[in-house]
Structure 1
Amino acid sequence: MNQQQRQKIYETAKRWIYEAGTEIREHMNDPLDIETKSNPNDLVTALDKQTEKFFVDRIHQAYPEHHIIGEEGFGDTLSSVDGTIWIIDPIDGTMNFVHQKRSFAISIGILHNGIGEIGFVYDVMGDQLYHAKRGEGAFKNETRLEPLDKKKKLEESIIGMNHFWLCENRVVSYPVMQKFVRTVRGTRTIGSAALELASVAEGVQDAYLALSLAPWDVAGGIILNQEVGGVAGDVDGNPWNPLERAPAVVANPAIHDSIIGFLKEGRK
């Protein structure tokens, strides 16, 4: 994908995101048709589905040769990263959307032949758009995000992670995760992986750990982090795979290896 193609797709996607955000805000107080998916806490609303369909219909019309991976089932089933792929989460943080009416985001990552080209994370209620194009940096609205602090120490770091790390002994042992939490300066949880990753890219948090994330949860945020020097992969230190659901670590490069060391210790 050349710069001209990237810019055109970026401008189009950005316009669609603002349109979708306006539609969500206008209808978010309507009676919600809420369903569950994999478990009672895995929620989906009609607005999730409508928003994904909004993007899918427009992508099919404007870019019929592109592929789509989406959370709500309107996309494609892919076994290869060849070509241009849009990875879409129409409402990341659906539980927050349902219960709190805030702290949720539209997340879109656009890859070409496996390379992250364009990333968006839109905080719908805060009207804050995080965005990035490959090789051109990452931004929050019009403000360019600074490269991540390469002198950061783990003991001085704020880590985004949910509490399932302390409940799922089968992934990383309880004692090691307890030691990890005591080692870092503090932990936080927002309830939206996309917003957590935007916070890492912004330097507000220094890493984000999640037990099981799908590509649509993280694609936009990972591309943001790549533009400020962040490192993304799984709990064994392998690179991020955009076609798989897996535990994920996205971190400031100065502390990434230390985090992976903790996790590997707990997986012995």
Structure 2
Amino acid sequence: MDFQKRHALIKEWMREAASMILASFQEELTVEVKTHRNDLVTNMDKAIELFLIKKIQQSFPSERIMGEEGFGNQFQDLKGTVWILDPIDGTLNFVKQKRNFAIMLAVYHDGIGQMGYIYDVIEKELYWGMKDQGAFCNEEKLPVVEDVSLKEGLVAINSGMFATNRYHTTEMGLASSGVRMVGSAGIETVHVASGRLAAYLSYSLCPWDIAAGKVIAEEVGLVYKKLNGEAVDLLNNNGIIVATPKAYQEILTEYLLKK
């Protein structure tokens, strides 16, 4: 796999996509409800996905694409090279706040993450990682995370989980230094990867919510697992935890597996 060629193209595509999103702030969005009132899709989600798919197909026509809005291929396996993309992660934030959303794209080969990209459009921060080559924010390499415990760090918890105390998340939050909620799996994952959080948990994420962040997280020494401690399944939805090794072990044994 020619990592440098792909890397240059992906950076160019993501910045073009970001410019399209920023330009849309001057236009009226078309907003539709998918599964419930907090699960939205806009004309820009669809436009960005189609834009990225076209770019990938032009440069890598034999490779398959998994996209949130359904314009890619259908999948029963992850054999070969697969692109996994989320055109706007945090669509509710995009619609309501015009911030705290990201473009996410990953490249996997035979089910193993090779490259992951999360672009915080408003902050102009492109987080990216390559297998066995580290992770970066723009061009600055991220250090391996400090292995802080739960009590030493902040945690991000999906708001629905926290509000209902699912998986004992209220007690978990009280045991930490504090709880923070953004509403974007990608942004919250890179906040763990950059040392701003000790952990992030969500109870139902799709493959495109997970793929890019997993590559980045593992390159800085984080644990990225299902809530039950099993490996993530990129053909299905997953409850996930991304955390420092110490915080992961505490959260898993003291809260997630607690009856």
Partner residue in 2 for 1:186: 178
Query: Counterparts of 1:227-242 in structure 2 under 5 Å?
Result: 227-242=219-234
Partner residue in 1 for 2:235: 243
Out of 57, 74, 78, the position equivalent to 1:81 is: 78
Where does structure 2 lack aligned partners over 5 or more consecutive residues? none
1:2-36 CA distances to partner (integer Å, 9 max, x unpaired)? xxx12211211111001111111112231010001
Residue 104 (structure 1) aligned with residue 101 (structure 2)? yes
Partner residue in 2 for 1:68: 65
TM-score, length-scaled by structure 1: 0.93
Partner residue in 2 for 1:165: 161
1:215-236 CA distances to partner (integer Å, 9 max, x unpaired)? 1112111111111011111111
The one-letter amino acid of 2:215's match is I
Q: Secondary structure at the match of 2:151?
A: helix
TM-score, length-scaled by structure 2: 0.96
CA distance in 2, matches of 1:8, 1:135: 17
Partner residue in 1 for 2:8: 11
CA distance in 2, matches of 1:262, 1:30: 48
Contact 1:215 / 1:244 at 8 angstroms: preserved in 2?
yes
CA distance in 2, matches of 1:248, 1:262: 16
1:59-83 CA distances to partner (integer Å, 9 max, x unpaired)? 1121111111111111112111111
Between 50-59 and 156-165, report the one with greater CA deviation: 156-165
Residue 59 (structure 1) aligned with residue 56 (structure 2)? yes
Query: Counterparts of 1:205-244 in structure 2 under 5 Å?
Result: 205-244=197-236
CA distance in 2, matches of 1:182, 1:168: 15
Out of 187, 196, 200, the position equivalent to 2:188 is: 196
The one-letter amino acid of 2:134's match is G
Residue 131 (structure 1) aligned with residue 128 (structure 2)? yes
Partner residue in 2 for 1:260: 252
CA distance in 1, matches of 2:141, 2:205: 27
Divergent runs of 4+, >4 A = none
Q: Shift in Å at residue 262 of structure 1? A: 2.9
CA distance in 2, matches of 1:265, 1:81: 29
Q: Shift in Å at residue 153 of structure 1? A: 1.5
Q: Shift in Å at residue 109 of structure 1? A: 1.3
The RMSD of aligned alpha carbons is 1.3
Contact 2:149 / 2:198 at 8 angstroms: preserved in 1?
no
Contact 1:236 / 1:263 at 8 angstroms: preserved in 2?
no
Q: Aligned pair count? A: 259
The one-letter amino acid of 1:90's match is P
Distance verdict in 2 for CA 1:244–1:168, change over 3 Å: farther
Q: Secondary structure at the match of 1:154?
A: coil
